[in-house]
Structure formats: C-alpha cells, structure tokens
Structure 1
Amino acid sequence: MIVRCTHITSPATGEVVTDHPSIRVGAEYPVLEVLTTANRVLLRIPELLDTTEYRDSPGLWDAAMFTVVSSRMPSCWVAALEDGRLTLAPREWQRAGFWDDYFDDVPAAVDEYARLRAAILADV
C-alpha cells in the first residue's frame, strides 16, 4: 500500500501544521503497518532521519493525513485482533514488545524489521 500525504497533523498537538521534519505534504510513502481502534486509524510509515547516522525510524501517523495511491497489500501482512485493536502487519511485528525492542536497538528486532521492511517494499 502506498499513500500520499495531503496535510500534516502534529502528533503532539493534533493540529494541522505546515511542515514537520519527518514527513512532507505531497510525498508518497509505503505503508508498513495499519493499526485501527474504534475511533482511530494509524499508518506506520518509514521516516528516514539521516541515512548516514541513523536507522529508519518508522512513525505512526493519522490515516486522515493521506490519500491512497496504491491499495496493493503486502503479502506478508496478516490481520490480528487484540483488545479491540485490529492490526495489519507482518506477524513478527505483532508480538507484544516488538516495537519497544526495535526502538531499544535489540539486534533481533532490528534485523527482523529490516528483513520485513524490505519484503514490504518489494511487494507494494
């Protein structure tokens, strides 16, 4: 799935802003994961901070900020329903604590993310 950013809603304030260092209006992004609750839909998209010093920092953004450019879903995505939340993502990313491990630089999680991110990008 590929989306195009139509406007930016600040994750901190919820207000529409003109710019943000991690995302640009008009840019297209591959969707790595979709998370839904009863009143919200979030998309996890890669945010490349600085490829010379940092690894990919995938962020969660309000789906209302985007329009769908390609609705092709990656073949590695599976649906999971837990605690009223529906997630579409690789099964490995749906385990409790995966994202904490990734952002804490646990090598197994970092490697798993890189492998599955590549699979998603090759499949969209």
Structure 2
Amino acid sequence: MIVRCVQIISPATGKVVSDHPGIRVGSEYPVLEVLTTASRVLLRIPERLDITGERESPGLWDAAMFTVVSDRMPECWVAGLEEGRLTLAPQEWQRLGFWEDYFDDVPAAVAEYERLRAEILAHV
C-alpha cells in the first residue's frame, strides 16, 4: 500500500500543522502496518534519513493525513485482533512486545523488522 500525504497532523497535539520534520505534504510513502481502534486509524511509515544522514525510527501517523495511491497489500500482512485493536501487518510484528524490543535495539527484533520491511517494500 502506498499513500500520499495531504496534510500533517501533529502526533503530539492532534492538530493540523504546516510542517513536521518526519513527513512532507505531497510525498508518497509505503505503508508498513495499519493499526485501527474504535477511534483511530494509524499507519506505520518507514523511517527516513534525518538531516545528518542517520536513520530515524518508523513512525505511526494518523490515516487522515493521507490518500491512498496504491491499495496493493503486501503478501506478508495478516489481520490480527487483540484488545479491540485490528492490525494489518506481518504476524511477527504483532507479537506482544515486538515494537518495544525493536525500539530497545534487541538484535532479533531489529533483524526481523529489517527482513520484513524489505519484503514489504519489494511488493508495494
């Protein structure tokens, strides 16, 4: 799935803002994961390089910021339902604690993310 940013909603305030260092209006992004709750839909967008060339972490962004450019779903996505939250993502990312392990730089989680990220990006 590929989306185009049409507006920026601040993750901190929930308000529409004119710019943000992590995303640009008009740019297209592959979607790594879709998370839904009763009140929100979030899209996980892959990291980008910051101004120093370092990779930033993949971020969750409000789906209201985007229009869908390509609705082709990655083959490795599966639906998961837990505690009222529906997730479309690789099953490996849906295990309890995966994202905490990834952000804590646990080698197995980082490797799993890199492998599945590459698979998703190859099929969008």
Q: TM-score band, normalised by the shorter chain?
A: over 0.9
**Cross-structure match for 1:117:** 117
Equivalent residues, number: 124
Distance apart, 1:52 and its partner CA: 6.6
Rate the CA distance shift 1:25–1:99 in 2: closer, same or farther, 3 A.
same
Give 4+ residue runs of structure 1 displaced > 4 Å after superposition: none
Three-state SS of the structure 1 residue aligned to 2:99 is: helix
Question: Which residue number corresponds to residue 100 of structure 2?
Answer: 100
TM-score between the two structures when normalised by the length of structure 2: 0.95
So what's the TM-score if we normalise by structure 1?
0.95
Shift in alpha-carbon separation, 1:39–1:9, aligned structure 2, 3 A: same
**Letter of the aligned partner of 1:63 in structure 2?**
A
1:45·1:61 contact (CA, 8 Å) conserved in 2?
yes
Structure 1, unaligned stretches of length 5 or more?
Answer: none
Q: Which of 52-61 and 2-11 deviates more?
A: 52-61
Matched position secondary structure for 1:87? strand
Kindly provide the CA deviation profile for residues 78-98 of structure 1, in whole angstroms up to 9, marking residues without a partner as x.
000011100000000000000
- Structure 2 CA distance for partners of 1:55 and 1:109, relative to 1, 3 Å: farther
**1:83 aligned partner:** 83
Segments of 5+ residues of structure 2 without an aligned counterpart are none
Q: Quick one: distance in 1 between partners of 2:52 and 2:122?
A: 23
